[in-house]
Amino acid sequence: MSLKFALQLFPSILLVILVVCILIPACTPNPNTGQRVAEYNKVLKDTAPITDNQKAAEGLKAFGTFLTKISNKEYVRQNTGVVYAPDAYLNDTLVTHHGAEQIKAYFLKTAETMTSYKVTIDDTASAGNEHYVRWTMIFSAPKLNGGKPVESVGMSHVRFNKEGQVIMHQDYWDSGLNIYGQIPIVGGLIETIRRRLEK
């Protein structure tokens, strides 16, 4: 094979490698959404929320403060075990974690990947023993959106134990657009799908 022919073939080889790298992960099984919903419903059934309004109010305040300080690694180290119960459940739409230690490790890892982070608590509401925190988040990470800020709105559904610690934390936000949608190539694919669904 001549050098000239090899150089002409090189872009085609790169294209094939790129297509394979995209298609192989795309062919893996989709997440079992039914299983995730079943797990959430089991957590709702298994976590009996407290009826002490004072403890719930204290827990809600501590949780809101925690959300605003997730980028502070020292704060996360010192306060995750205070805010979250030892057997707490967290699902932030990206991942699920069980227990304060797993939750702390997750938030510490998250803090390491961000170059900036700000959460504003927009509103809180309670319906009996169920509590909801509506928030706006602006964050930056080198691998997302070219390092430029990403802004999102979301809501956290939380329950507290008798000590006022979070025993259940379920987030609702558009992680597809605000995380996966900011990754090169993947973001373009998501946008193409979104535009087709809009038609």
Q: What is the pLDDT of residues 136-160, one digit of tens each?
A: 988 777 766 676 777 888 999 999 9
Tokens of 39: 């797990």
Fold of the 32-173 domain: Nuclear Transport Factor 2; Chain: A, (3.10.450)
Q: What is the DSSP string of 33-66?
A: HHHHHHHHHHHHHH------HHHHHHHHHHHHHH
Question: Strand 116-127 vs strand 150-160: parallel, antiparallel, or unpaired?
Answer: unpaired
Tell me the pLDDT of the chain averaged across its residues. Answer: 78
164-185 confidence digits (pLDDT tens): 999 999 999 764 444 444 445 4
What is the CA 33 to chain-centroid distance, rounded? 16
Query: What's the rounded mean pLDDT across residues 20-44?
Result: 68
Rounded to two decimals, what is the model's pTM? 0.72
For the ranges 74-78, 150-154, 192-196, the lowest mean pLDDT is seen at 192-196
Distance CA 84, CA 51 (A): 18
The dihedral formed by the CA atoms of 56, 123, 176 and 178, expressed in degrees to the nearest 10: -120
Distance CA 118, CA 41 (A): 30
Domain boundaries, the chain: 32-173
